[in-house]
Structure 1
């Protein structure tokens, strides 16, 4: 499980602009560099993760330590505390080859349910939601594995479904 870094990048840009926060710029650039490095080499060494993790932590620490409990937290401080709390989840994509930088694909997969709901008004039963989700999930898997959707659907109806192998 990891968190979506695309959302974090948007929030970091907001913090940079609203609070003129150089630490947010540094974190944003760190994440973007790590993403590019991961794209070049999906099996990064653990020493790279450690370097990024330490830089991430050192950059956020002054914002957190400078917080005075007498006053309400600003958006900048709240965000820094959230980054600190969930840093392992934000940086998981560096350690795990199969963990994506963002969850945009997962969001796209779920978006169709909302579109269908808006167009049709609703699903008639929980079973219909389940069937719709299973079919959409299967099609998404076919797409991710570069399979012919039509051919695989025909095969599935003929009781010979495509089942991806691990590492495929």
Structure 2
């Protein structure tokens, strides 16, 4: 499942999709502050509660998803129905319509235990490459890109598996690399 931020080109990928709720939370906070919209507050709280519940129990019951989905639908429908097509959509209405359009995707993390709430980890993993490019200007060769990516990927794996980075790097140079076991 690809977790992303509603960028239209991502939907052309032939895979499962889920929306990054960190992006949605930022959008909801903006709508709350700019438009004083109670519906945005309600959906934001729904997402935060669901995230906490999933952290406590990754295998949430389908009844929890159904309740969350119904709460979302009851909250968003009045905003959609209240839209007058004679006028240009406001930011508030655009977000409401986007959430309505992708309503099955942004709550996907509740239904599927392996789908994360957001894609922040993936974005952090990619950010280092951009920083390296900004500092150095470029990579000197394709080989250097591959070396850099392998090292960063290894360090990221160590971090995700709560391993000592320095100790594991030393072990790797001593030909005893950390290799995560399936299901670890």
TM-score between the two structures when normalised by the length of structure 1: 0.88
* Closer, same or farther: CA 11–157 of 1 in aligned 2, 3 Å: same
C-alpha change, 1:93 and 1:118, in structure 2 (3 Å) is: same
In terms of fraction of residues, the more helix-rich structure is: 1
The unaligned stretches of length 5 or more in structure 2 are 1-16
> For structure 1, which segment, 30-39 or 97-106, has the greater mean C-alpha deviation from structure 2 after superposition?
97-106
SS of residue matched to 1:97: coil
**Which runs of 5 or more residues in structure 1 are unaligned?**
none
State which drifts further: 123-132 or 15-24: 123-132
Superposed displacement of residue 25, structure 1 = 0.8
1:67-88: per-residue Cα shift (whole Å, max 9, x none)?
2222211111111111112222
1:163: Cα distance to partner? 2.8
Which has the larger displacement, 59-68 or 156-165?
156-165
Deviation (angstroms), 1:106: 1.5
What is the RMSD computed on CA atoms of the aligned residues?
1.9
Q: Report which structure shows greater RCO (CA 8 Å, sep ≥6).
A: 1
Cα distance in 2 for partners of 1:128, 1:89 equals 37
Partner residue of 2:173? 157
* Deviation (angstroms), 1:150: 3.6
More displaced stretch, 150-159 vs 30-39: 150-159
Number of the residue aligned with 2:137 = 121
What residue is the counterpart of 2:39 in the other structure?
Answer: 23
Q: Deviations over 1:54-111 (max 9, x none)?
A: 2112211111122222221111111111111222221122122222222222221111
Shift of 1:164: 1.9
